[in-house]
Chains A and B, each alone.
Chain A
Amino acid sequence: MAEAVATGDGLTAIVCDDAPGFRALMAALLQEAGLAVVARGETWRDAERLAPGADAIVVDLWMPELELDALARVRSGSPQATLAVVTALDLAEARTRVAGCGVDLVLAKTDPPAQVARAIAAHARGRPRTAAPPAVEPPPA
Chain B
Amino acid sequence: MSSDDDRLVTLVHDLRTPLTVISGFAELLERGGDTLSAQQRAEYVSRIAAAAGEMREILDAERAERLH
Contacts and interface: CB of A to CB of B under 8 A. Distances in A.
Contact of A25 (B13, B16, B20, B54): B20
B35 to A, nearest CB: 11
A127 to B, nearest CB: 25
A22 B17 contact: yes
B59 interface: no
A32 B28 contact: yes
Interface size class of B (residues with CB under 8 A): 10 to 19
Interface size class of A (residues with CB under 8 A): 10 to 19
Given A88-B13, A88-B16, A113-B20, A21 B50 contact: yes
Interface string A16-43: 0001111011001100100000000000
Interface in A109-137: 109-110, 113-114
Contacts of A32: 28
B45 interface: no
Given A24-B21, A24-B47, A29-B24, 9 more contacts: A20-B50, A21-B21, A21-B47, A21-B50, A25-B24, A28-B44, A32-B28, A88-B16, A114-B24
30 contacts: A19-B17, A19-B18, A20-B50, A21-B17, A21-B21, A21-B47, A21-B54, A22-B21, A24-B21, A24-B43, A25-B20, A25-B21, A25-B24, A25-B25, A25-B28, A28-B25, A29-B28, A32-B28, A88-B16, A88-B17, A109-B17, A109-B20, A110-B16, A110-B20, A113-B20, A113-B23, A113-B24, A113-B27, A114-B24, A114-B27
